[in-house]
Chains A and B, each alone.
Chain A
Amino acid sequence: MLKIKDLNVSINGKKILKGFNLEVNAGEVHAIMGPNGSGKSTLASVIAGRDIFTVDSGEVTYMGKNLLDMPPDERAKEGLFLGFQYPVEIPGVSMINFMRTAINEKRKHYGLEPLTGMEFMKLMEEKKKIVEIQSKLTNRSVNEGFSGGEKKKNEIFQMAFLEPKLAILDETDSGLDIDALKVVANGVNALKKPDNASVVITHYQRLLDYIVPDFVHVLYDGRIVKSGSKELAIELEEKGYEWIKKEAGINEKAESTE
């Protein structure tokens, strides 16, 4: 589904990703962990198509297509979803209007008729249940006046709505209390299907108590330095990132694939 080969990315001349490799297949859940500044959010942004970053070299294929050639909105229409670490507020634009625009643009992309108002509202009620989102939130402007937890729930709600093939969740767990964390995790688990995949980017292991990954990768200094099963996440939680840093330092050229 997603293949990243030797990806090098910089911003304003500063190298952030340095020979990054990753392969994600349908039905899999990958967790990418790593200390602050290792390049986790950059990775998410580049995959989603944020143009403030420069791709210096490398290949990214998504569903057999060259992802780097696709504009960000096309990536989204083709089923790529990014759950933002800091969801932005859009004053005056109601959630209903926003989601209706998004879903109908996607339908147009696939040659489908736009949803009628009735169909849309019905779908919305269904999806709300998945993330236990309250009606008042969908009646408000996009993320405006939402608490941190509500913003993150809203991301999962949008994900449920858009039914992505590949979801990348960028530190969706940061700033969440345990109840909100559970809601977010339940949402992700409920949406798991054999033909879709997700990449969960996180700093802490605790989200992985609720979302069980098939693979765990450790990102350090712009590349994956270690991959393993969910036990790796537990090990990281116990030992911290220091030993990884040391290991990476010793095996300077070590590069890991899954």
Chain B
Amino acid sequence: MAAAEDSNNNLKELAEKDYKYGFYTEIESESAPKGLSEEIIRYISKKKNEPEFMLEFRLKAYRHWLTLKEPDWAHVDYQKIDYQDLIYYSAPKKKPKIESLDEVDPDLLETFNKLGIPLEEQKALSGVAVDAVIDSVSVKTTFQAELAEKGIIFCSFSEALQKHPELIKKHMGTVVPYTDNFFAALNSAVFSDGSFCYIPKGVKCPMELSTYFRINAANTGQFERTLIIAEEGSYVSYMEGCTAPIRDENQLHAAIVEIIAHKDAEVKYSTVQNWWPGNYEGKGGVYNFVTKRGVCEGDNSKISWTQVETGSAVTWKYPSLILKGDNSAGEFYSVAVTNNYQQADTGTKMIHLGKNTSSTIISKGISAGYSNNSYRGLVKTAKKAINARNFSQCDSLLLGDKCGAHTFPYIEAGNKSSVIEHEATTSKISEDQLFYCLQRGIDMESAIGLIVNGYAKDVLSKLPMEFAVEAQKLLAISLEGSVG
């Protein structure tokens, strides 16, 4: 019958479709030899001209990592990683100064152009300061002068290590200690670069801070580290987004993000993640095993995570919040899309420690093809967290009948005054909705884009404007050809 034939054609089309951002820029890389040892760690630290405390931190983390076993409790299945077969350091050889765009490697500019984020336009039009990370080393930082005036520090992690080692020493590892988990220990030992952001007391950051990540060299693990510190009464909105080129080998990505919000401070962290998900059969693609955590250290502080996950072959991450200060608030808004053979096990942890703390979780999972999408969340209120409140809503949308959606909510209430609410729904994208759109002249892919964006609206509306537009396009692209 016609429908079956159509879906076969769609599958075929999909298989032949190239990953939109699957190009590979040839920038000369300087890489460490394969494998992991104390020697390699010393090599990385030396290459980066790091202070002594940093090397010691790395070595401690490495020695701890050696004692750990790779965890396997997530609802994901992937080929075991040979950690001795990875390259742990790779830096663009030509390291341009950051005075003007003319000095930037032309190939790199081309990469940005393909991504549709030319730096000059970013500068001129959107007022977004971009700290671009390609293969682990920051190449370009803009708007620093304007930010510096307010005392805001926004730079690569390496630069911060050189210029503000005391800030790093004081805060790094306080939210995610290297002992936290297997991948956190690995990252702490070998991290190459990342972003650093410091907002001084009482300062409202006047622009959205943005970092674009991009994995570029073959078979290179990407170990980024982000540290955001918001001092008393400050505010910052931070965005991170990424795309990746087609690679045959699996690429491991094990990042750490740490956020600290002091009294009355607010941090909004938004991310759009679009790493190479593997080909139609699920071969290749990025493993994204990330530890993201924020702590609302002071009273009345607030941190929100907003994420749109469309990429990676395997995603394993739970941006979490520790609500330590009284009256502090945490938010988690997530859209996770999986297609073909993608697997995602993602969610959040809200740990209520302070009084009158509140948290909101809105998670929208979208599964298509043969993919598996799991929400895993923990809401915990400590004994002293009186009057803690949580509201969680976890919705799953299924496209087709070969995919899976799973919800694993964990609730631990430590006192009687906590109120924890959890709502969950599972629905299918209906043929009637699709046909209605088709009959109005909207083609299949736009129709899916419309319906899915409508479903995810509650989350997308939390993203900064320019990011929301990008995210909407991404959702549509990620689901191309997924309904027959």
Q: Which residues from B are CB-within-8-Å of A52?
A: 3, 431
Cβ of B226 under 8 Å from chain A: no
- Which residue of B2, B3, B443, B453 contacts A92 across the interface (Cβ within 8 Å)? B453
Cβ of A88 under 8 Å from chain B: yes
Docked Cα-Cα span, A159 to B438, in Å, equals 14
Q: Which residues from B are CB-within-8-Å of A92?
A: 453-458
Residues of B within 8 A of A (CB-CB), count: 27
**Contact of A93 with B450 at beta-carbon distance under 8 Å, contacts A52-B3, A73-B443 already known:** yes
Docked Cα-Cα span, A101 to B436, in Å, equals 13
Among B441, B442, B458, chain A packs the most CB atoms within 10 A around the CB of B441
Cβ of A77 under 8 Å from chain B: yes
Q: Which residues from A are CB-within-8-Å of B457?
A: 92
Docked Cα-Cα span, A4 to B453, in Å, equals 38
Cβ of A51 under 8 Å from chain B: yes
* A73-B438 in contact (CB<8A): yes
Chain B, residues 433-445, CB within 8 Å of chain A (1/0): the string is: 1011111111110
Which residues 1-26 of B sit at the A interface, judged by CB distance below 8 A? 1-3, 6
Docked Cα-Cα span, A97 to B440, in Å, equals 13
Q: Which residues from A are CB-within-8-Å of B6?
A: 51
* B450-A49 in contact (CB<8A): no
Q: Which residues from A are CB-within-8-Å of B435?
A: 48, 50, 72
Cβ of B387 under 8 Å from chain A: no
Question: What interface size band does chain A fall in?
Answer: 20 to 34
- Which residue of B430, B444, B446, B458 contacts A88 across the interface (Cβ within 8 Å)? B430
* A73-B456 in contact (CB<8A): no
**Contact of A73 with B455 at beta-carbon distance under 8 Å, contacts A87-B436, A90-B450 already known:** no
* B442-A73 in contact (CB<8A): yes
Cβ of B102 under 8 Å from chain A: no
- Which residue of B436, B450, B455, B458 contacts A84 across the interface (Cβ within 8 Å)? B436
* B1-A54 in contact (CB<8A): yes
* A90-B451 in contact (CB<8A): yes
- Which residue of A49, A54, A88, A98 contacts B432 across the interface (Cβ within 8 Å)? A88
Which residues 31-85 of A sit at the B interface, judged by CB distance below 8 A? 48-52, 54, 71-73, 75-77, 81-82, 84
Q: Which residues from B are CB-within-8-Å of A106?
A: 441
* A102-B438 in contact (CB<8A): no
* A101-B446 in contact (CB<8A): yes
Cβ of A193 under 8 Å from chain B: no
**Contact of A91 with B455 at beta-carbon distance under 8 Å, contacts A51-B2, A54-B1 already known:** yes
**Contact of A101 with B453 at beta-carbon distance under 8 Å, contacts A51-B2, A84-B436, A90-B433 already known:** no
- Which residue of A75, A81, A101, A141 contacts B442 across the interface (Cβ within 8 Å)? A101
Q: How close is A111's CB to chain B, nearest CB, in angstroms? A: 15
Which residues 79-135 of A sit at the B interface, judged by CB distance below 8 A? 81-82, 84, 87-88, 90-93, 97-98, 101-102, 105-106, 109
Interface of B is mostly: helix
Chain B, residues 337-373, CB within 8 Å of chain A (1/0): the string is: 0000000000000000000000000000000000000
Among B2, B3, B440, chain A packs the most CB atoms within 10 A around the CB of B440
Q: How close is B369's CB to chain A, nearest CB, in angstroms? A: 20
**Contact of A93 with B446 at beta-carbon distance under 8 Å, contacts A77-B441, A106-B441 already known:** no
Q: How close is B335's CB to chain A, nearest CB, in angstroms? A: 12
- Which residue of A50, A71, A102 contacts B440 across the interface (Cβ within 8 Å)? A102
* A109-B454 in contact (CB<8A): no
Q: Which residues from B are CB-within-8-Å of A75?
A: 439
* A76-B455 in contact (CB<8A): no
Docked Cα-Cα span, A50 to B442, in Å, equals 14
* B446-A90 in contact (CB<8A): no
Chain B, residues 224-246, CB within 8 Å of chain A (1/0): the string is: 00000000000000000000000
Cβ of A158 under 8 Å from chain B: yes
**Contact of A82 with B454 at beta-carbon distance under 8 Å, contacts A54-B1, A88-B432, A88-B433 already known:** no
Cβ of A22 under 8 Å from chain B: no
Q: Which residues from B are CB-within-8-Å of A208?
A: none
Among B431, B437, B457, chain A packs the most CB atoms within 10 A around the CB of B437
Docked Cα-Cα span, A50 to B434, in Å, equals 10
Which residues 441-470 of B sit at the A interface, judged by CB distance below 8 A? 441-444, 446, 450-451, 453-458
* A91-B441 in contact (CB<8A): no
Docked Cα-Cα span, A72 to B443, in Å, equals 9
Cβ of A244 under 8 Å from chain B: no
Q: Which residues from B are CB-within-8-Å of A48?
A: 435, 439
Cβ of A162 under 8 Å from chain B: yes
Q: How close is B152's CB to chain A, nearest CB, in angstroms? A: 35
* A73-B453 in contact (CB<8A): no
Q: Which residues from A are CB-within-8-Å of B439?
A: 48-49, 72-73, 75-76, 81-82, 84
Please, which residue of chain A has its CB at the minimum distance from the CB of B440? A102
Q: Which residues from B are CB-within-8-Å of A158?
A: 440
Q: How close is B440's CB to chain A, nearest CB, in angstroms? A: 4
* B438-A72 in contact (CB<8A): yes
Q: Which residues from A are CB-within-8-Å of B442?
A: 73, 76, 101-102, 105
* B444-A73 in contact (CB<8A): yes
Docked Cα-Cα span, A10 to B432, in Å, equals 19
Docked Cα-Cα span, A75 to B450, in Å, equals 20
Please, which residue of chain B has its CB at the minimum distance from the CB of A82? B439
Docked Cα-Cα span, A243 to B24, in Å, equals 74
Docked Cα-Cα span, A50 to B437, in Å, equals 12
Please, which residue of chain B has its CB at the minimum distance from the CB of A83? B439
Docked Cα-Cα span, A141 to B446, in Å, equals 17
**Contact of A101 with B450 at beta-carbon distance under 8 Å, contacts A49-B438, A52-B3, A73-B444 already known:** yes
Q: Which residues from A are CB-within-8-Å of B441?
A: 73, 76-77, 102, 105-106, 109, 162
In the complex, besides A51-B3, A91-B455, 14 extra interface pairs with C-beta distance below 8 angstroms are: A54-B2, A71-B438, A72-B439, A73-B437, A73-B442, A82-B439, A84-B436, A90-B436, A90-B450, A93-B451, A97-B450, A102-B442, A106-B441, A162-B441
Q: Which 6 A-B pairs have the closest CB atoms?
A: A92-B454, A93-B454, A76-B441, A92-B457, A102-B440, A72-B438
Give 28 A-B contacts (CB < 8 Å), ordered by A residue: A49-B438, A50-B435, A51-B2, A51-B3, A52-B3, A52-B431, A72-B438, A72-B439, A73-B443, A76-B439, A76-B441, A81-B439, A84-B436, A84-B439, A87-B436, A90-B433, A90-B437, A90-B454, A92-B455, A93-B450, A93-B451, A93-B453, A97-B450, A98-B450, A101-B442, A102-B441, A109-B441, A162-B441
